[in-house]
Structure 1
Amino acid sequence: MYTISDYLLDLLNYLNVKDVLGVPGDYNLSFLDHITRRSDMKWRGNMNELNAAYMADGYARQNGMAVLVTTFGVGELSAVNGLSGSQAEKVPVLEIVGTPTLAAQYDQKLIHHSLGDGNFEHFQNVHKELGFKVEAITKDDAISEINQVVKYVYENKQPGYLALPVDLTEMPVNPIFKQLIPSLFRNKNEPHDHLQNIEAISNQLKNSHHPILIIGEDVQRFHLQDVVRNFIINNDIPFADMIESKGIIDETLPQFIGTYNGSLSKDLTNQLINKSDLILLLGAILTDANTGGFTQSFNSQNTIDINAKRINFYSKIINYNEQNGFVNLIKIISQTSLSQSFPKGPHDSINNKLPVPSDKPITQDFYTSAMSNFIQSDDTVIAEQGTSLFALEQIKFPANVKFICQPLWSSIGFSFPATLGSQLANPKRRNVLSIGEGSLLMTIQEMGFAVKYDLKPIIFVIDNHGYSVERVIHGMHEPYNDVPALNYSLIPEAFGAKKNQYNYFDVRTEKELLMAMKSIENNSSQLSIVRVSMAASDAPEDLKEFGKIIAKQNKG
């Protein structure tokens, strides 16, 4: 018998989802049976639902789509923070929520995991309020409801919510629906209704003497990297990226002028941006975290801003009327041929040459230099918000490095599960995580997941005795920014690892850090944890400046 559960999983499998994350609960167990009976998908159980949502986010960034399963009420509310991060950062994650039977909901029974008021729509309404696409599967229109939410998640790169009543998991449906799945995702040749705007944007580029592209994360989310890269190379046009879009376009290209972060950017990057007569933002969202606290030097007078939601043409807002408006627009604009040559300059990157190591304690500056030499082509680099993100921000990455961070939502603890999700999606890539010990404490339970599924990330734990990102904003010596000190050497075995499954390094000096990195390079077939001790007051200079800006803004 072919069931609605089978159809839903066939649809997700078609979108290359091979691993389903989440936590079992009595309202989703019968659905999980359908996963565990398949040979083309695996159930990957998490320690809690928040971690599952973080991990699904990392999986989707690497794979293009992710799914997690939670139970009604207690499970879905635990996951909602992680899914909100996917909403803010535009990551396609589908949450499937096992709910009580339709009869129990109709009769308003006072059952467990509810608020005891007979209303079963509270939690769906929470997700609606946060902007998620929400559908609840019914007997009469199940296929359509599933198709709507899955297509929305996949095409719009935003999370979705699908409620699956426990008594519908075995509902039979016609197997013919499986054969129709490919037709749901065929590209339609829709007429483009922005031809006039395309011509206007192209003309502005052709008439500009010093245009600069600033690349945002939408370029990657909608798989436009190759299109934009060819546009840059064919026209020799200078470009910058932002924190969250680092590496989307190869930073080794001669047209790259640096990572832009408002006044915190490197001097040469800022000089070139300041001289530009046209800033073309492609898929970027200007937040406090990627503009140095809104200190960007350009304004509406010289900026055309194109992202997945709308066009801002010199302050004139233009909305898309067709489904693939953003994708179509970028593809057509990228065909523009520019005849003029544009000034560029070398990127002043803290990169390339590693200082001679000594027996001195490790500083943030030395750590950044060491990481710039450790990161290799084809790595996936994951940075936690705070010292890690600001340390890696100005490194010029080798070719084909994928960078995962969460600067807008900035939920600390995100990066460790996201790393595991990323590696689960593509075990062939080396995953390098830089995380503070305060953040790791939030989600360290998933070390058991890493051990169970034999994942082998390289984890640099910056141990600087607390929440450094908070210290530089307010309370450098206050106890609320302290965290417990762990013995990290015991963590892998505490979560079930055998001694031959992992490498552990405790480093305090520059020489010890480089020796650990060299050892990992020679043996990357194991989970590696490097505890990097630093002074509590040490932080990247950009983070210190950002902290001053935020502290000032917080005072009103």
Structure 2
Amino acid sequence: MYTISDYLLDILKYLRVTDVVGVPGDYNLNFLDHLEQRTDLTWRGNLNELNAAYLADGYARKNGFSALVTTFGVGELSALNGLTGSQAERVPVLEIVGTPATTTQQTRQLVHHSLPHQDFSFSKQIHQNLGIITGQITVNNAITEINRVIQAMLQTKQPGYLQLPVNLANLQVNPVFKTRIPTLIAGSTKPETPPLTLLNDICQQLNTAQHPVLIIGSAVERFHLKNVVQKFITKHQLPFVDLNESKGVIDENIPQFIGTYTGNISNPVVQQFMQQADLYLALGPILSDVSTGGFTQTFANYNTILLTPQEINFLGEQRFPANPENFTATIKALCQSPNVCHQAGPTNPFQLTPLPSGQQQPLTEDFYRQALETFVQTGDTLVVEHGTSLFALENNRLPGDNCYICQSLWAAIGYTFPAALGASLANRQHRVILSIGEGSILLSLQELAFAIKNQLKPLIFILDNQGYTIERVIQGLTASYNDVPQLNYQTLLPAFGATAKTAQFFDVKTNAELISVLKKLQPANQPLTIVQLRLEKTDAPANLKKFSKLVKKNNQK
């Protein structure tokens, strides 16, 4: 018998999902029984729902789509913070929520995981209010509702939320719908008609500008525009900058790359170049305080053409309905237009810096930054926690064909450890490097058991400076509220099930020790690795210190 659960799982498989994460609960067990019977999909149980949502986000950033399963009430609300981060940063994660039976809901029975007011719609309403695509499967709408949610997710690159009552998981549906899945997915791409007036105006501005610069945002990657944009850049020799949200979306190894821009806390060379530009073409950025150096960017409405899924702004004038279709259509048409004739631009060839020579001096953040830049290889996935890691590494140049994962807008502490595991799960052939603080990893450390159980092999660099350094430099440099417990990571590995063959640990206190460890880790096929980096308590990147002053000033307005 072909059921609605089978249909939903077939859609996931068609979208190249091979692993489904989450936490079991009695309301979703009927659905999980169908998953358990599959040979082409694997259930990967997490330690809690929030971690599952973070992990699914990392999986989707690497794979393009992901799915997690939770139970009604306690499970879905635990995952809500993670799914909200996916909404804020446009990551298509589908949450499948097992809910009480339809009769239970209709008769408003006071069952476990529900609220005393007996309103079973509260959680769906919460997700709707957060801008998440929501759906609720019934006997009469099952196929239609799944199709609607999936298509909307693919069109907008937003997360989805789908309620599946426990008694409907075995609902029989016609297997003909399985044959129509390719048509369903193809139908998520609406016909694109670029707004010609806008296109002509952009071409004219590019052709007449003396010093144009492109600003690459994360939506270029989300909407699969990176190849067409990179060809456009190289064909017309257009200089570009990326943001900390979009590092590596366009190859930082090509000569048109200027650097990573973060307003007034950018590298001085990048700042000077941006100040001299007379036209800024911004493609899909999220212009948050983190990506703009506390809103200190040099560009303004009058000299900026902003193209995002939410807004199309031509030199200060709002143009056309802002939606994903107009966004992608305009960028594709622009990049393929024969009317662009700009052919000026800098050459900025990438030269890999030799591995610095380590000395028996106490390890510093700056030395770690230099050393990691030389350590990252072509094809690596680099996952960077929103903390000292983000600010330390944002100016490092990536060697090419890299996936760079950070959460620059939502900035949830603890996100990157599960996200790194999700990226590892999505593609086991790519090396995953995680840079995270010891305060951050404490929030999701239990997923170390998940990594060991599922034979994932990320290289984890834990920046241990005895507390929340990013908060210390903003406020409370010596305050106890910024202290965190100190762990023995070496003993944690066997406690979570690792053996000497499946995991390794390094304790690094000096520059020389770091260089020695990095040389040992260069060969492929390393086991899961934790490198504890012992740093001085107040050691922080210079750009983080500048940013913290701007944040503190803004918080006092």
TM-score interval (norm. to shorter): over 0.9
Q: Which amino acid is the alignment partner of residue 522 of structure 2?
A: E
Distance 1:189 1:81, change over 3 A: closer
Q: How does 1:208-219 map to 2 (within 5 A)?
A: 208-219=209-220
User: 1:96 corresponds to which residue?
Assistant: 96
Contact 1:238 1:344 in 2 (8 A): yes
Q: Does 1:312 align with 2:334?
A: no
Q: How does 1:78-157 map to 2 (within 5 A)?
A: 78-157=78-157
Q: For 1:296 and 1:517, how far apart are their aligned partners in 2?
A: 36
Q: For 1:376 and 1:523, how far apart are their aligned partners in 2?
A: 11
Q: Offset of 1:280 from its aligned partner?
A: 0.1
Q: Which amino acid is the alignment partner of residue 400 of structure 1?
A: D
Q: Does 1:516 align with 2:523?
A: no
Contact 2:98 2:163 in 1 (8 A): yes
Contact 2:194 2:333 in 1 (8 A): no
Q: Offset of 1:323 from its aligned partner?
A: 6.0
User: 1:342 corresponds to which residue?
Assistant: 344
Q: For 1:425 and 1:348, how far apart are their aligned partners in 2?
A: 29
Q: For 1:190 and 1:435, how far apart are their aligned partners in 2?
A: 42
**Partner-residue secondary structure (3-state), 1:288:** coil
When the two chains are superposed, the root-mean-square deviation of aligned CA atoms in Å is: 1.5
User: 2:444 corresponds to which residue?
Assistant: 443
Q: Which amino acid is the alignment partner of residue 25 of structure 2?
A: G
Contact 2:474 2:551 in 1 (8 A): yes
Q: Which amino acid is the alignment partner of residue 342 of structure 1?
A: A
Q: For 2:526 and 2:13, how far apart are their aligned partners in 1?
A: 29
Q: How does 1:3-18 map to 2 (within 5 A)?
A: 3-18=3-18
Q: Which amino acid is the alignment partner of residue 33 of structure 1?
A: D
User: 1:200 corresponds to which residue?
Assistant: 201
Q: For 1:322 and 1:32, how far apart are their aligned partners in 2?
A: 36
User: 1:497 corresponds to which residue?
Assistant: 498
TM-score by length of 2: 0.97
Contact 1:419 1:457 in 2 (8 A): yes
Q: Offset of 1:43 from its aligned partner?
A: 0.3
User: 2:37 corresponds to which residue?
Assistant: 37
Q: Offset of 1:158 from its aligned partner?
A: 0.5
User: 1:363 corresponds to which residue?
Assistant: 364
**Partner-residue secondary structure (3-state), 2:353:** coil
Contact 2:255 2:350 in 1 (8 A): no
Distance 1:319 1:18, change over 3 A: farther
User: 2:461 corresponds to which residue?
Assistant: 460
Q: Which runs of 5+ in 2 are unaligned?
A: none
Q: Offset of 1:322 from its aligned partner?
A: 7.2
Q: For 1:59 and 1:241, how far apart are their aligned partners in 2?
A: 23
Structure 1, residues 380-405: CA drift from partner, whole Å, max 9, x if none? 00000111111110001101111000
Q: Which amino acid is the alignment partner of residue 515 of structure 2?
A: L
TM-score by length of 1: 0.98
Q: For 2:543 and 2:103, how far apart are their aligned partners in 1?
A: 57
Distance 1:15 1:546, change over 3 A: same
Dislocated runs of 4+, deviation >4 Å: 345-349
Q: For 1:461 and 1:358, how far apart are their aligned partners in 2?
A: 20
Q: For 2:192 and 2:148, how far apart are their aligned partners in 1?
A: 22
Structure 1, residues 296-344: CA drift from partner, whole Å, max 9, x if none? 0110111000012221111212244776222111110002354343243
Q: Which amino acid is the alignment partner of residue 459 of structure 2?
A: I
Q: For 2:293 and 2:347, how far apart are their aligned partners in 1?
A: 22
Contact 2:311 2:323 in 1 (8 A): no
User: 1:186 corresponds to which residue?
Assistant: 186
Q: How does 1:275-290 map to 2 (within 5 A)?
A: 275-290=276-291
Q: For 2:101 and 2:319, how far apart are their aligned partners in 1?
A: 45
Q: Offset of 1:186 from its aligned partner?
A: 2.1
User: 1:2 corresponds to which residue?
Assistant: 2
Distance 1:323 1:375, change over 3 A: closer
Q: Does 1:417 align with 2:426?
A: no
Q: Which amino acid is the alignment partner of residue 341 of structure 1?
A: Q
User: 1:292 corresponds to which residue?
Assistant: 293
Q: For 1:172 and 1:46, how far apart are their aligned partners in 2?
A: 29
Structure 1, residues 203-244: CA drift from partner, whole Å, max 9, x if none? 111111111001000000011110000000000010000001
Structure 1, residues 232-275: CA drift from partner, whole Å, max 9, x if none? 00000100000010011010111000000000111111111111
Distance 1:193 1:363, change over 3 A: closer
**Partner-residue secondary structure (3-state), 1:244:** coil
Q: For 1:462 and 1:170, how far apart are their aligned partners in 2?
A: 48
Q: For 2:397 and 2:408, how far apart are their aligned partners in 1?
A: 18
Q: Which amino acid is the alignment partner of residue 56 of structure 1?
A: A
Q: Does 1:529 align with 2:530?
A: yes
User: 1:397 corresponds to which residue?
Assistant: 398
User: 2:251 corresponds to which residue?
Assistant: 250
Distance 1:494 1:236, change over 3 A: same
Q: How does 1:474-493 map to 2 (within 5 A)?
A: 474-493=475-494
Contact 1:239 1:255 in 2 (8 A): yes
Structure 1, residues 172-200: CA drift from partner, whole Å, max 9, x if none? 00111111111112266736151111111
Contact 2:4 2:142 in 1 (8 A): yes
**Partner-residue secondary structure (3-state), 2:143:** helix
**Partner-residue secondary structure (3-state), 1:140:** coil
Q: For 1:524 and 1:41, how far apart are their aligned partners in 2?
A: 25
Distance 1:523 1:400, change over 3 A: closer
The percentage of counterpart residues that share the same residue type is 50
Q: For 1:191 and 1:160, how far apart are their aligned partners in 2?
A: 23
Q: For 1:485 and 1:538, how far apart are their aligned partners in 2?
A: 17
Structure 1, residues 276-300: CA drift from partner, whole Å, max 9, x if none? 1110000112110100000001101
**Partner-residue secondary structure (3-state), 1:290:** coil
User: 1:331 corresponds to which residue?
Assistant: 332
Q: Which amino acid is the alignment partner of residue 315 of structure 2?
A: Y
Contact 1:56 1:68 in 2 (8 A): yes
**Partner-residue secondary structure (3-state), 2:439:** helix
**Partner-residue secondary structure (3-state), 1:185:** helix
Q: Offset of 1:118 from its aligned partner?
A: 1.5
Q: Which runs of 5+ in 1 are unaligned?
A: none
Q: For 1:47 and 1:239, how far apart are their aligned partners in 2?
A: 42
